[in-house]
Amino acid sequence: MPHRKADQPKCKSTTQLIHIADEFVKQDDGKNQDMETLLQECIDTLVNYQEECKKLRKRSSQSQQSSERSNESIFETYEAAYVYYKIVSQLVLNKIPELPEFMHAKNHAETQREKGLIDLYNMLVKTLLTDEKFAEIRKFIKEHSTSETPAAAKKKQIAAMSNTDSAWTNGQSVSPSRLSTLMSNHKVLLIDLRPRIKFIESHIKSETITCIEPISFKNTYSDIELTRRSLITSPAREISLFKERDSFDYIVIYTDELDKTHFSQQQQASLVELLVQRSFEKPLHDAKVLTLQGGFEGWIKNGGEYEGSHHKEDREYAMEYSIPPLKPQKASLMKPAPAPLSSTFSLTTDVNGSIGSEDRPSPQILFPDQRPSSLQRTPSFRDRLSSMSPISRTMSPSQNAEPIMHNNSTIYPETPQLMPSPSNRSLPQINFERGQFNSHLKSLSPPLLNGTPLENGYGRALMRSTAGANGNGIYKSAGDNDDQVIFNKPVSGFCVGLVNLGNSCYMNCIIQCLLGTNELAQIFLDDSYKNHINLNSKLGSKGVLAKYFSQLIHTMRQKAVPASTAGQKNLIKGDEKNAVQPINFKVASGSINPLFKGSSQQDCQEFCQFLLDGLHEDLNQCGGNPSLKELSEEAEKIREKLCMRIASSIEWERYLTTDFSVIVDLFQGQYASQLKCKVCGRTSTTYQPFSVLSVPVPRGSRCDIIDCFKEFTKIETLEKDEQWSCPQCKIKQPSTKKITITRLPRNLIIHLKRFDNLLNKNNIFVSYPNVLNLTPFWANDFDGKLPPGVTELPTRGQIPPFNYNLYGVACHFGTLYGGHYTSYVNKSSPYGWCYFDDTSWRKVKNDHEYITTNAYVLFYHRTPTSSL
């Protein structure tokens, strides 16, 4: 008989574990600790963390029958690893940066000791941010920790509301009339949890009130993170009030009760929990945290006093920073293109009997007998390619390869217009049965896998092809050329410099290069990106990063001299007085990732990945979908028998059910990493999305970009201690690894890996052309075999040839921590190629100036061809 859930051991919650880590860090407060001592403490604790990770790896490799005792031991190991990581994180990101010694060493490193300490600090930061195991640990703990059920929370709320005792309790709701009494007799801090634009228009009349935007914080924040990140751009008087929150008798939070998405109410509950349980900087020993019944609307209905903001800076602030409420727009009906379908398919309607095409999610293509992933989410492009070994050589494409993918369109790109659809509608169930057909299936997009499924696990898996999708986005078929959105239309050219905010040239050069991507600039200049912000995206910033990126682009265009009115002199070089300070965008970036918070030099390609990653998550129409299930061993065997052309296409369709945004459409590709046993020939292949492709730079005096791709795709024989544990042989065997590029994106960003693991730089001159042909490196191994039940897959632009035009070059001079970044960008007519060096810019002196030995990141745009 199965055990009851109540009898099963549980992990401590992440809140409890964070508190343990914070208490450990705080116990040394007041001691005269120097930077070297704290760094040594970080290293010692990091070693402990790595030891716990080794234990977890060892346990995962053992196939033991789990018992309650072994479960408890596993939980303890996960908890210890989590706490050790958080201790290092607190020391590195919060405590050490506050030391005067750190500030001096960072800005004025004079001695070898100071330089060594800063180098060590930077290595620790890099170690934390590139650690891949912690995400698995955090996910495991969240899945196995005790949490309050919704029913219990509701019961607690009802009990609190019925409490007539004068002694208020945290989380209790207070009526508008009682709040008025409290404000007359006690010291009350009001927190307006609505968008600032609404706060400025009208709010409860009080001298002790502050506004916190609902989208500005996550439910995992502590009060320290709330102060440093969410309030970073708030008026000084509001920040001061919040910092004095422990001096008030009551803190009352109110929000917008008319919010139909209930996001504001969820954030209100999160803020109450944050102030009560995670107030580490200012513990609330006496102050009670309450909420207002009915929110601001309830206050108005009960005759409460309210007012608009009378502060001039508030008005200016609202004009610059606030965004209108984000509401999903009704998707316009797209004209479906006829798709050849087998008569073996049928489509059943949802529970309401509706089959409207705008309700349809993209079908999720699954392999048989998928099992839930125990620890990790399906890999996304944020898992950096640079951390992996360059490992394979692709097969030469066959010139006579038979085309396998149906395509009716000659227009590229073919990826869909993003249109949110209501998430509360039931999903259609797709059944694959013999002898049945429903014409409504043609409206589904992208095209489904067609054909007659065999009576095996693969066919049964296809019957579950919609599992996990929730209808957040509508895909457009590769064959749909009516009402097609063509992103590749030129943006009116503008050139303007960016102010260096203390070693922020790494950021400036990437912004200038990305603005050379016309399609990306367009959606932020016309504000269409707002239609696609997904507040439910699990990994997004609730639109904060996208919002500030858009504001920066708008400001740059406003400050630039329009090309249409500029004189000949203004088309040759820019006036530094017009340069834009990207301070708000940098603050927003630093609030999301502490690596970019300070004034230390960073790697521009890491910032590029961070920015594309962050924008993708903000605009990810499927960001709230459940994670993909991990393939079973049987499913993996079936996939390994498929050619990469087919397997990679299926994996890409699966990936799009959890990651679908305009960033995916514009920048993301895919590569296959394959392990092969040299004894029995067994293979294991993983398919990895990427947005920045990192290729190794060979040693020597000079090389060509093609040499880098050859190095990237060559076969690598694994060393003895890295050998693959072959599931067929049951032991570690001599093995090889290779990488094959399986999907080339519309805009290809190539990172030249000039730095080794010890941060030594390879300054070899890498020759790169204006027109780059990567067709020979694209997997073209179709063998004529399709999996059971499949007759075609959407092309999604994957039709050779793959020719690219160069449009941007990010350059690096010096070392990683003591260098400088500039950029060359093709701004099109009338500017042409321009050189950007922070505040200054100019046209290039000759046609080859941008082919430079200092090239570090290259930006290419795919050339449309007649075959597309």
- Look up residue 152 and give its amino acid: A
User: Does a structural domain hold residue 273?
Assistant: yes
Q: Find, among 164, 157, 144, 422, the residue nearest to 268 by Cα.
A: 157
For the residues 16-25, what does the mean pLDDT come to?
84
The answer, yes or no, to whether residue 1 has pLDDT greater than 50, is no
DSSP-derived letter for residue 146 is -
- Look up residue 563 and give its amino acid: A
Confidence of residue 73 (pLDDT cuts 50, 70, 90): confident
Q: Is residue 820 annotated as part of the catalytic site, yes or no? A: yes
Confidence of residue 336 (pLDDT cuts 50, 70, 90): very low
Specify the higher pLDDT residue, 804 or 86: 804
Whole-number pLDDT of residue 860: 98
Segment 730-746, tens digit of pLDDT: 999 999 999 999 999 99
User: Cβ atoms within 10 A of the Cβ of 153, count?
Assistant: 13
For the residues 588-595, what does the mean pLDDT come to?
89
* Alpha carbon separation from 650 to 169, 428, 662, 781 (Å, rounded): 54, 20, 20, 15
DSSP conformation letters of 17-77: HHHHHHHHHHTTTTS---HHHHHHHHHHHHHHHHHHHHHHHHHHH--PPP-HHHHHHHHHH
Among the three residues 113, 144, 175, which one is the final residue of a domain in this structure? 144
Strand 765-767 and strand 702-704: the pairing is parallel
For the residues 543-547, what does the mean pLDDT come to?
93
Confidence of residue 772 (pLDDT cuts 50, 70, 90): very high
Segment 491-532, tens digit of pLDDT: 557 899 999 988 899 999 999 999 999 999 999 999 999 989
Specify the higher pLDDT residue, 762 or 783: 762
User: Does a structural domain hold residue 375?
Assistant: no
Average pLDDT, the chain: 75
Taking the C-alpha atoms of residue 106 and residue 97, their distance in angstroms, rounded to an integer, is: 9
Cα 535 to the center of its chain, rounded Å: 13
Tell me which range, 217-226, 464-473, 765-774, is most confidently predicted by mean pLDDT: 765-774
Specify the higher pLDDT residue, 151 or 659: 659
Same domain? For 136 and 158 the reply is: no
Q: Which residues pair with 251 in a beta bridge?
A: 189, 289
Same domain? For 67 and 164 the reply is: no
- Look up residue 579 and give its amino acid: A
Backbone region of residue 369 per phi and psi (left: phi > 0; alpha: psi in -120 to 50; beta: other values): left
User: Does a structural domain hold residue 605?
Assistant: no
Cα 630 to the center of its chain, rounded Å: 21
User: Each residue of 302-338: b (16+ CB within 10 Å) or e?
Assistant: eebeeeebeeeebeebbeebebeebebeebeebebbe
Q: Find, among 746, 762, 768, the residue nearest to 862 by Cα.
A: 746
Catalytic residue among 53, 505, 708, 834: 505
The answer, yes or no, to whether residue 476 has pLDDT greater than 50, is no
Same domain? For 176 and 96 the reply is: no
Sheet order of strands, 683-690 included = 683-690, 669-677, 735-743, 716-717
Same domain? For 74 and 122 the reply is: yes
pTM over 0.75: no
Same domain? For 182 and 304 the reply is: yes
Q: Find, among 42, 793, 862, the residue nearest to 465 by Cα.
A: 793
Among the three residues 293, 321, 349, which one is the final residue of a domain in this structure? 321
Taking the C-alpha atoms of residue 337 and residue 320, their distance in angstroms, rounded to an integer, is: 43
The answer, yes or no, to whether residue 434 has pLDDT greater than 80, is no
For residue 395 the two structure tokens come to 């097969």
Are 665 and 746 in contact, with CB atoms under 8 Å apart?
A: yes
On the CB side of 687, CA atoms within 13 Å amount to 25
* Alpha carbon separation from 269 to 171, 246, 297 (Å, rounded): 8, 19, 18
Is the peptide bond preceding residue 447 cis, with omega within 30 degrees of 0? no
Q: For the range 106-111, what are the long-range contacts, defined as Cβ-Cβ under 8 Å and sequence gap of 24 or more?
A: 106/598, 106/599, 106/600, 107/599
Rounded to 10 degrees, the C-alpha dihedral 610/616/618/620 comes to -150
DSSP conformation letters of 343-361: TTEEEE--TT----GGGPP
For the residues 386-398, what does the mean pLDDT come to?
32
User: Does a structural domain hold residue 509?
Assistant: no
Are 46 and 95 in contact, with CB atoms under 8 Å apart?
A: no
Whole-number pLDDT of residue 406: 36
Specify the higher pLDDT residue, 538 or 710: 710
User: Does a structural domain hold residue 81?
Assistant: yes
Catalytic residue among 406, 440, 554, 820: 820
For residue 446 the two structure tokens come to 């992208």
Are 299 and 306 in contact, with CB atoms under 8 Å apart?
A: yes
Segment 621-644, tens digit of pLDDT: 998 888 888 888 888 888 998 999
Same domain? For 185 and 120 the reply is: no
Beta-strand (E) ranges in 691-847?
A: 692-696, 702-704, 716-717, 724-725, 732-733, 735-743, 747-753, 765-767, 771-773, 803-813, 820-826, 833-837, 840-843
Maximum CA pair distance of the chain? 86
User: Cβ atoms within 10 A of the Cβ of 543, count?
Assistant: 21
For the residues 793-818, what does the mean pLDDT come to?
89
Whole-number pLDDT of residue 325: 40
Q: Find, among 651, 643, 691, the residue nearest to 669 by Cα.
A: 691
User: Does a structural domain hold residue 296?
Assistant: yes
The answer, yes or no, to whether residue 728 has pLDDT greater than 80, is yes
Whole-number pLDDT of residue 254: 96
Same domain? For 171 and 316 the reply is: yes
Of 121-125, 299-303, 560-564, 662-666, the poorest mean pLDDT is in 560-564
Cα 674 to the center of its chain, rounded Å: 25
Taking the C-alpha atoms of residue 108 and residue 101, their distance in angstroms, rounded to an integer, is: 10
Tell me which range, 101-110, 234-243, 564-573, 682-691, is most confidently predicted by mean pLDDT: 682-691
User: Does a structural domain hold residue 307?
Assistant: yes
Taking the C-alpha atoms of residue 524 and residue 511, their distance in angstroms, rounded to an integer, is: 13
DSSP-derived letter for residue 573 is B
Are 789 and 454 in contact, with CB atoms under 8 Å apart?
A: yes
Taking the C-alpha atoms of residue 242 and residue 251, their distance in angstroms, rounded to an integer, is: 10
The answer, yes or no, to whether residue 472 has pLDDT greater than 70, is no
Of 30-39, 75-84, 315-324, the poorest mean pLDDT is in 315-324
Segment 187-239, tens digit of pLDDT: 999 999 998 878 888 899 999 999 998 877 877 788 888 888 788 778 888 99
Are 749 and 810 in contact, with CB atoms under 8 Å apart?
A: no
Segment 236-293, tens digit of pLDDT: 889 999 999 999 999 999 998 877 667 788 889 999 989 988 888 888 888 899 999 9
Whole-number pLDDT of residue 412: 28
For the residues 64-91, what does the mean pLDDT come to?
77
For residue 371 the two structure tokens come to 């099992």
Whole-number pLDDT of residue 570: 61
Whole-number pLDDT of residue 748: 98
User: Cβ atoms within 10 A of the Cβ of 433, count?
Assistant: 12
Whole-number pLDDT of residue 432: 27
Confidence of residue 4 (pLDDT cuts 50, 70, 90): very low
Domain limits for position 238: 151-321
Segment 144-175, tens digit of pLDDT: 876 544 444 444 444 444 444 456 888 899 99
Same domain? For 109 and 241 the reply is: no
Taking the C-alpha atoms of residue 486 and residue 480, their distance in angstroms, rounded to an integer, is: 12
For residue 657 the two structure tokens come to 């059910």
Confidence of residue 676 (pLDDT cuts 50, 70, 90): very high
Taking the C-alpha atoms of residue 190 and residue 202, their distance in angstroms, rounded to an integer, is: 14
Q: Find, among 653, 686, 670, the residue nearest to 748 by Cα.
A: 670
User: Does a structural domain hold residue 438?
Assistant: no
Give the sign of the dihedral formed by CA 666, CA 830, CA 811, CA 774: positive
Beta-strand (E) ranges in 236-277?
A: 250-255
CATH label of the domain that carries residue 196: 3.40.250.10
For the residues 289-301, what does the mean pLDDT come to?
92
Percent of the chain past pLDDT 90, that is, above it, reads: 35
Q: Find, among 533, 101, 25, the residue nearest to 325 by Cα.
A: 533
Same domain? For 92 and 203 the reply is: no
Whole-number pLDDT of residue 141: 86
Taking the C-alpha atoms of residue 33 and residue 99, their distance in angstroms, rounded to an integer, is: 9
Among the three residues 122, 144, 166, which one is the final residue of a domain in this structure? 144
**How many domains does the chain divide into?**
2
Q: Which residues pair with 291 in a beta bridge?
A: 173, 253
Same domain? For 134 and 17 the reply is: yes
- Say how many residues make up the chain: 868
Specify the higher pLDDT residue, 26 or 614: 614
Taking the C-alpha atoms of residue 263 and residue 415, their distance in angstroms, rounded to an integer, is: 30
DSSP conformation letters of 607-644: HHHHHHHHHHHHT-TTTTSPPPPBPPHHHHHHHHHS-H
Confidence of residue 758 (pLDDT cuts 50, 70, 90): confident
Same domain? For 90 and 235 the reply is: no
Whole-number pLDDT of residue 865: 64
Whole-number pLDDT of residue 124: 86
Same domain? For 162 and 288 the reply is: yes
Beta-strand (E) ranges in 682-783?
A: 683-690, 692-696, 702-704, 716-717, 724-725, 732-733, 735-743, 747-753, 765-767, 771-773
